[in-house]
Amino acid sequence: MKKFEYKIEKIKPTLGMMKLKFDFVEMESMLTGYGLKGWELVGAEKDTTPSGQEFFILFLKREVSES
């Protein structure tokens, strides 16, 4: 039976040109790094805090070897 471990990452926006924005190039680089370590993105959600700040929650998994 396959076994997996999971990781949850919260991605906050950065300040750029007087407004908050997401750096998708940086996010792509981060996800590529995780992928090279065996992590697979299995889901993503965009959410908002009560104060109105948006952020992404990324759900990743990777298979673990059976010992």
Do residues 12 and 21 make contact, with C-beta atoms less than 8 angstroms apart? no
Do residues 57 and 45 make contact, with C-beta atoms less than 8 angstroms apart? yes
Q: Which amino acid is at 54?
A: E
Query: pTM, whole model, 2 decimals?
Result: 0.79
Which pLDDT tens digit goes with each residue over 8-59? 999 888 766 666 778 888 889 999 999 999 999 999 999 998 988 888 899 9
Q: Which residue has the higher pLDDT, 23 or 2?
A: 2
In angstroms, rounded to a whole number, what is the distance separating the alpha carbons of residues 42 and 16?
Answer: 29
Q: Which amino acid is at 16?
A: G
In angstroms, rounded to a whole number, what is the distance separating the alpha carbons of residues 37 and 16?
Answer: 30
